[in-house]
Amino acid sequence: MRDTPRADHNVEFVGGSIALDFANTLGGMHSAPTHEHLLEYRDLVDFARGAGTLTLSQARRLVDEASRQPARAAAVLRRAIALRETIWRVFDTLAKSARADPKDLATIHVEELAALRHARYEQTGSGVDYAWSDELPLDRPLWQIARSAADLLKSNDLAHIRECGSATCEWLFIDRSRNHTRKWCDMNDCGNRAKVRRFRQRHRAPKVKASR
């Protein structure tokens, strides 16, 4: 993934879960990616900002800290990418009704445990939920990603995770459409490309024949 060019657009949040959106920070096929959103530590912070899991002030402090500790920041980024690939493999496998690799499940569990060390229970209006500590170590952006992956593994949404129907896209999403018929990661992107292709096939084929 090292030589994959930087994405020329912002991260798209179409997965329906932070974990899946994180898995979708790579474009093209995971075996042959076309573009990468996570090339430096700052990109990880940007993802967390986009996902709404960091405040602007937290994001700025993390980027400052990363510039003071570049080796540590690089190590967190490597860990983030390893987690992303694990999340993608696990949910892509489960989306295809196959069995996930126990080693991959263990990786998610380890990251979940590492994250929850920084959480405590807090009573909210109607119940109790995790609240995150105010600490700001460099791996802070990973906490909610790991928790999101762990929650998704145990949720009813698991049965509705799909891989995009495009032959050149492996993005994952939760199909929350009423009849569970969503095919594309994004109707404006892969869905539209498929629509344009079908349109061209329908409308071009007879013309080509007629002109010969």
Binding positions for Zn ion, rule: CB under 5 A: 164, 166, 169, 171, 185, 190
**59 or 172: CB nearest Zn ion:** 172
Least spacing, CB of residue 29 vs Zn ion, in Å: 11
Contact 6, 36 (CB under 8 A): yes
| Of 36, 140, 43, 48, residue with least CA distance to 85 | 36
**36 or 139: CB nearest Zn ion:** 36
Which residues in 24-60 are b (16+ Cβ under 10 Å) and which e? bbbbeeeeebeebbbbebbbbbbbbbbbebbeeebbe
**63 or 194: CB nearest Zn ion:** 194
**52 or 165: CB nearest Zn ion:** 165
Least spacing, CB of residue 57 vs Zn ion, in Å: 34
Q: How many separate helices (H) and strands (E) can be counted in the chain?
A: 7, 6
| Of 7, 3, 20, 17, residue with least CA distance to 164 | 20
Angle, to 10 degrees, between the axis of helix 140-153 and the axis of helix 41-51?
60
Start-to-end Cα distance in the chain: 45
At 200 the three-state DSSP class reads helix
Question: In whole angstroms, what is the distance from residue 70 CA to residue 75 CA?
Answer: 9
Least spacing, CB of residue 34 vs Zn ion, in Å: 12
**55 or 168: CB nearest Zn ion:** 168
Least spacing, CB of residue 190 vs Zn ion, in Å: 3
Least spacing, CB of residue 189 vs Zn ion, in Å: 6
Least spacing, CB of residue 17 vs Zn ion, in Å: 16
**78 or 180: CB nearest Zn ion:** 180
What's the DSSP call for residue 6?
A: B
